[in-house]
């Protein structure tokens, strides 16, 4: 289908391409490494999906520009980390471009489709607009860096140990390693960051965070750098992750009996696939940390599908 409109990035009129909000290679990997080969989202838990959110928002030129950075990120960061090939991964100038392009498209989606924005003040709306404009200028090489609207990236895997595991939700390993999530985090109506979770990799596009020095080892540099290794995060962000994980668990608890049976049938039909899946690996990690009763309460087995 051909769609004619205005490109949200370069603002030229013409043909628009259907763009993935989270890059397609993330969706493909999540399906391939799942126990069932399907996805479910917490926003619509009782329906299987085959793809991520897509919008007609970019012209062929801008979509092609984004695709170049996506290819580098997929080949040099996403797949190597997902396959546990190295504890640290190195990048070039394409990395910050990729990160900004993702934060830009997620925030653009929020501006167009999220009802949450009605609660933001005029100052908050102005901050969001300035971030979008700054990221746009950076993507077109009109400014040398994204200024205060930094990009920070974290690589996650199963948690080896926790000092106070009882304070964590019993799906924490599945949450930090599986699935795709986006969120415009805020505090009392003040935008803080765009949160984009791509499986084991989490990207933050800073909006209104004033204490950047509390984030150590996560900021993406303009020319080159590395991701992975030791990092320091504010305790408030750990609380945020726990809250998001709990929200996901609460949504999965709403899975209908019909869909539970659909998942169980899929497991039985594809037992070998399920046994090899990353979904089951992370389920096992949660069971080892929290115990089988806590993990499987309220039909939590269904979370293996995502």
Find which of 20-34, 247-261, 262-276 is predicted with most confidence, using mean pLDDT.
20-34
Domain total of the chain: 1
Instruction: Say how many residues make up the chain.
Output: 306
Domain that holds residue 223: 3-305
pLDDT at 115: 52
Predicted confidence (pLDDT) per residue in 58-104, tens digit: 999 999 999 999 999 999 999 999 988 888 899 999 999 999 999 99
pLDDT at 302: 41
Predicted confidence (pLDDT) per residue in 133-155, tens digit: 999 999 999 999 999 999 999 99
Residues paired with 155 in a beta bridge: 201
Q: Is the pLDDT of residue 229 over 60?
A: yes
CA separation for the pair 105, 55 (Å, rounded): 10
More confident call, 180 vs 306: 180
Helix (H) or strand (E) holding 184: strand 180-187
Q: Is the pLDDT of residue 264 over 80?
A: no
Task: Output the CA–CA distances (angstroms, integers) from residue 161 to 157, 175, 248, 273, 276, in the order listed.
Answer: 12, 16, 22, 28, 23
Predicted confidence (pLDDT) per residue in 7-51, tens digit: 999 999 999 999 999 999 999 988 888 877 777 665 666 666 666
């Amino acid at each position: 289908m051909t769609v004619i409109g205005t490109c949200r990035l370069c603002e030229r009129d013409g043909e628009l391409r259907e763009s993935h909000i989270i890059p397609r290679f993330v969706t493909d990997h999540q399906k391939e490494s799942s126990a069932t080969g399907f996805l479910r989202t917490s926003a619509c838990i009782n329906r299987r999906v085959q793809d991520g959110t897509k919008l007609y928002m970019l012209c062929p030129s801008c979509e092609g520009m984004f695709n170049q950075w996506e290819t580098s990120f997929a080949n040099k960061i996403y797949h190597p980390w997902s396959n546990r090939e190295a504890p640290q991964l190195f990048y070039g100038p394409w990395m910050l471009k990729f990160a900004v392009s993702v934060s830009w498209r997620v925030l653009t989606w929020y501006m167009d489709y999220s009802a949450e924005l009605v609660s933001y003040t005029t100052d908050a709306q102005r901050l969001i607009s300035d971030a979008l404009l700054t990221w746009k200028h950076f993507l077109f090489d009109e400014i040398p860096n994204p200024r205060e609207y930094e990009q920070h990236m974290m690589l996650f895997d199963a948690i080896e140990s926790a000092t106070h595991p009882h304070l964590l939700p019993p799906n924490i390993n599945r949450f930090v390693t599986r699935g795709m999530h986006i969120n415009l985090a805020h505090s009392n109506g003040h935008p803080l960051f765009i949160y984009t979770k791509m499986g084991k990799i989490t990207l933050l596009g800073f909006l209104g965070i004033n204490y950047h020095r509390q984030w150590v080892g996560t900021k993406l540099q303009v020319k080159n750098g590395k991701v992975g290794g030791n990092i320091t995060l504010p305790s408030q962000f750990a609380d945020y992750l726990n809250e998001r994980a709990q929200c996901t668990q609460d949504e999965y608890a709403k899975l209908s009996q019909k869909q539970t049976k659909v998942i169980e049938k899929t497991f039985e039909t594809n037992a070998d696939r399920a046994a090899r899946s990353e979904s089951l690996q992370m389920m096992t990690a949660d069971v080892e940390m929290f115990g089988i009763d806590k993990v499987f309460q309220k039909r939590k087995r269904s979370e293996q599908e995502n």
